[in-house]
Amino acid sequence: MELLKRVIVAIIFIPLLLVVYYLGSTPLLVFLGLVSFAAMWEMRNIIQEGKKFYIPVLLIPLSIPVFLLCAVQGFEYINFAIIGTFIIVAGNNVIMNKIEHTASIIGFSLMAMVYTVIMPASIYRISAHFPDYKLVLLLQVFCWTTDSFAYFVGMKFGKHRNIFKASPKKSLEGFIGGFVLTGLVGAIIYITTSWFLGWHIIYAVISAGIFGQFGDLIESIIKRDMKVKDSSNLIPGHGGIIDRFDSLIVSAPIFYFLLIIFEIKGV
């Protein structure tokens, strides 16, 4: 029954996701805004369940303006988002006369805002900055191929396990295999099509093949620290929003920074 749920959701969700990535613009902005909102809701619940202290509910509606600010206006506004979050969370404790765990509450709130809102905003920035290329679509496909290749290579050839305490079953062979085989897919796309520039593919392979896997491990180590299995049960058979987007959340800002730093032109 659980497998059936996973298959049905995948059949519906994956084509819809690919269409949104392809369209970009407003559909992508709205979709990512909803993703950030849901991810913030999940992260707040995870922190409260794992650490047993109150995280201001204000963080959930605050995620929308912070996401729009960073996604539409650009990352030069991150300082405003972080400082604003700090003042709102700390000010809430002052007004509510909450002293215990204040420093931890502020720290976890800032972590939640960066991880579930500001980092996903980079996904939209990629699309907005490079409108002539479907780079978000490319990155997501590479995240999927990396995850799949890492799993199958790890199952078949994995001998060096327990390297990452965040996920003891992951093997070094699987990690390397996911990266190398995704690079091979990138090479095939470059040779057989003219959809992307060579540097687009190289940076996407690095971002998804290395940092996308770290994204999965980062979420795993957070959940282990909080002692939860899934970020939520929002998606039947697949866990929560963060569970489904953990690789993309971390790989997207790396991809965006690489493109910007090395001045890969989008138009």
Max mean pLDDT range (56-60, 100-104, 121-125, 240-244): 121-125
Summary mean pLDDT of the chain: 86
Q: Among positive and negative, which fits the CA dihedral 222, 49, 70, 195?
A: positive
Distance between CA atoms of residues 221 and 103, nearest Å: 21
| CA dist list (Å): 94 to 57, 85, 87 | 15, 14, 10
| CA dist list (Å): 179 to 61, 141, 213 | 37, 13, 9
- What pLDDT shows up at residue 264? 58
For 27-41, what is the mean pLDDT?
94
Provide the whole-model pTM: 0.87
Structure tokens at 18: 């690919």
258: pLDDT strictly greater than 50? yes
Q: Which residue(s) pair with 239 in the sheet? A: 235
With contact defined as beta carbons under 8 Å apart, do 212 and 247 qualify? yes
103: pLDDT strictly greater than 80? yes
Residue bearing the bigger pLDDT, 171 or 66? 66
